[in-house]
């Protein structure tokens, strides 16, 4: 059976939330962390929050963002699993392709993300990813079984459409919206990988 493994990036594969790391450059890490948390919990719409966070963080020079993001740690167990199964592993993230490129290079698998570009030294968000669209696209590519892993409210549409859905709490507790639609809840990377290998 052809199986796709779909992983959220921030706080799932990465051991830190990425946007607050960038925000530390502007001295607003706590504020962006709070905004990220209430977004993950589904208290404000992801797209509205994400566009606002991009507007604020777009003040940081692209080269500095690349340097910051390249230092974000990844869960070693999950990274190893992805690299061993890279043909059928997918990073599915609402984060911007421009910002997460260093992490995607380390994962060396396929990725779906939001799209942005720089114009006159300002970031313009061209498209905010709907994670449910990814699941439907993978089914059209012939994947008979989809396993999705995520922690936030914006992961809930992806989890709801997957055949096996895992609300992951490796960095912080998964959002209620994610837990509500998940078939499993796991809080540790090695345990998650052991389960994925057994499925």
Average pLDDT over all residues of the chain: 95
Cβ proximity of 2 and 144 under 8 Å: yes
Fold of 3-16+73-198: Rossmann fold (3.40.50)
Distance separating alpha carbons of residues 132 and 46, to the nearest angstrom: 14
Kindly report, residue by residue over 106-129, the tens digit of the pLDDT: 999 999 999 999 888 789 999 999
What pTM does this model have?
A: 0.95
| Alpha carbon distance, N-terminus to C-terminus of the chain | 11
Kindly report, residue by residue over 28-53, the tens digit of the pLDDT: 999 999 999 999 899 999 999 999 99
Which pLDDT score is estimated for 156? 97
Burial class (CB in 10 A: 0-12, 13-18, 19+), 198: exposed
Could you tell me how many residues make up the chain? 199
> Alpha helices of the chain — where are they, by DSSP H?
18-23, 29-40, 46-57, 62-70, 76-84, 97-107, 131-140, 156-161, 176-181, 189-198
Using alpha carbons, select from 123, 89, 102, 72 the residue that is nearest to residue 193: 89
Which pLDDT score is estimated for 121? 79
């Amino acid at each position: 059976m052809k199986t796709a493994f779909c992983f959220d990036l921030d706080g799932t594969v990465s051991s830190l939330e990425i946007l607050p790391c960038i925000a530390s450059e502007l001295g607003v890490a706590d504020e962006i962390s709070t905004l990220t948390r209430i977004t993950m919990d589904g208290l404000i719409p992801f797209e509205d929050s994400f566009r606002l966070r991009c507007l604020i963080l777009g003040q940081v020079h692209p080269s500095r963002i690349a340097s910051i993001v390249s230092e974000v740690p990844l869960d070693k167990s999950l990274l190893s699993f992805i690299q061993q199964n890279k043909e059928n592993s997918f990073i599915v993230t609402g984060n911007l392709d421009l910002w997460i490129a260093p992490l995607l290079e380390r994962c060396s698998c396929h990725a779906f993300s939001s799209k942005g570009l720089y114009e006159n030294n300002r970031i313009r968000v061209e498209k905010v990813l709907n994670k449910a669209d990814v699941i439907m696209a993978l089914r059209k590519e012939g994947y008979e079984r989809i396993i999705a892993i995520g922690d936030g409210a914006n992961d809930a549409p992806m989890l709801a459409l997957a055949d096996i859905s895992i609300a992951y709490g490796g960095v912080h507790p998964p959002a209620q919206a994610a837990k509500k639609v998940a078939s499993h809840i796991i809080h540790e990377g090695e345990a998650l990988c052991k389960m994925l290998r057994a499925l």
